[in-house]
A and B are shown apart, each in its own frame.
Chain A
Amino acid sequence: MKFLVVDDFSTMRRIIKNLLIDLGYQNVTEADDGQTALPMLQAGSFDFLITDWNMPGMPGLDLLKAVRADAKLAKMPVLMLTAEAKREQIIEAAQAGVNGYVIKPFTAVTLKEKIDKILEARAA
């Protein structure tokens, strides 16, 4: 399973990458904002997208919308991992088609739970 982790803070990308490796997902690629991530998603064969919201360039919500608007990527599982905690934002992300929403600071257990849940729903 190939993951793309999008966050403008390299420390957070490292944390997520390490957690994914601990969970047994060895194939993890990083991008620092939506603008960089979108062409990578379009060119690569990613299976799962984990993205932050608040990033310079293209924010995560716009990346999510771009993914859902792209016929080739539309069905990709997207997990939002962000400090954005306003109710209206979570609702907006849900309406834009996010598959999971984890707020920072988060725990390894929460991340695992959400990824498992999304993958289970895919398999069903």
Chain B
Amino acid sequence: MTPPSSNLQEQFGPIIAALAGALAAGDEQLFYRELDALVESRERNLFGELRKLTSDLQSALVRFSIDSRLVDLAEKEVPDARARLDHVLKMTDEAAHRTMDLVEQSGPLADRTAKQAAEIIESWKRFRARSIAVDEFRDMVVKMDSFLESAGEDMGKVRSNLAEVLMTQGYQDLSGQIIRGVMKLVGELETALVELVRLSKGGVRKSDVEAEKPSTSRGFGPVVPGVDHGPAVSGQQDVDSLLAGLGM
């Protein structure tokens, strides 16, 4: 057995001495009073320890919840976010090229129409002024035939290209939804890191780094290849057959 430390001597020495004195003197009242004082001082220590333990435990639990959320963010959601942004990059690249392809296809068609019209207009003016020569008139009629045919065809193609340019802009909605999701994740990551920094400085507060789970009612956003899990349809045909199966 180790000898009692001076701290113990200091804390309990006088009480034990008083207890021993009261016992030897047969002073029952004094004995019990001293005994109560002893028990009370032990309880004070015990509650102090318990308080400290509880606080440590609470701090550990908060840290654990932040840590596990951070682990989840770092291991899964950040790489997923990278894949999502990569998909956005691909989508915007494709949309920009498709739009430019359509513009490049349409330019020469519009040019050809303008050029052919310009070739006819002078002869047409002379025809309207009744001053056109017979040869020029014949030539104009031939040009007019070819112009009417190619202008109709070319402008039809330009119109359909314009419609496709319009459809191509749909990428802005799809990529915007994905970027919004990544922005939410960055916000969450920031909150978790700020919490962690604050916690390491000793403060304990209920953590609000809970992840907001996506739900069917709120929506999940566009499907990103290689990222999304769970059964999703692969295209409009799939949707149609699923709905047909439901009697629609």
Give min CB distance, B149 to chain A, whole Å: 24
- A119 adjacent to chain B (CB < 8 Å): no
Contact with B along A2-22 (1 / 0, CB 8 A): 000001010110110011001
5 A-B pairs closest in CB distance: A54-B219, A83-B222, A9-B173, A12-B173, A11-B172
- A27 adjacent to chain B (CB < 8 Å): no
CB within 8 Å: A-B pair count:
100
* Across-interface contacts of A89 in B (CB, < 8 A): 216, 219-220
Q: Say which residue of A11, A18, A91, A107 sits within 8 Å of B242 (CB atoms).
A: A91
* Across-interface contacts of B174 in A (CB, < 8 A): 83, 104-105
* Across-interface contacts of B236 in A (CB, < 8 A): 102-103, 106, 110
CA distance A55 to B216 in the complex (A): 12
Interchain CB contact under 8 A, A86 and B231: yes
| A1-57 interface with B by 8 A CB criterion | 7, 9, 11-12, 14-15, 18-19, 22, 53-55
Contact with A along B202-224 (1 / 0, CB 8 A): 00000000000000111111110
* Across-interface contacts of A92 in B (CB, < 8 A): 216
* Across-interface contacts of B248 in A (CB, < 8 A): 94
**17 A-B contacts, Cβ less than 8 Å apart?**
A11-B170, A11-B173, A15-B167, A15-B169, A15-B170, A19-B167, A22-B163, A54-B218, A59-B217, A61-B216, A86-B233, A88-B231, A89-B216, A92-B216, A94-B248, A103-B239, A104-B170
**Interface bracket on B:** 20 to 34
Interface size of A by CB at 8 A reads 37
Give min CB distance, A24 to chain B, whole Å: 14
Give min CB distance, A79 to chain B, whole Å: 12
Most buried by B among A54, A55, A101: A54
- B235 adjacent to chain A (CB < 8 Å): yes
Give min CB distance, B96 to chain A, whole Å: 14
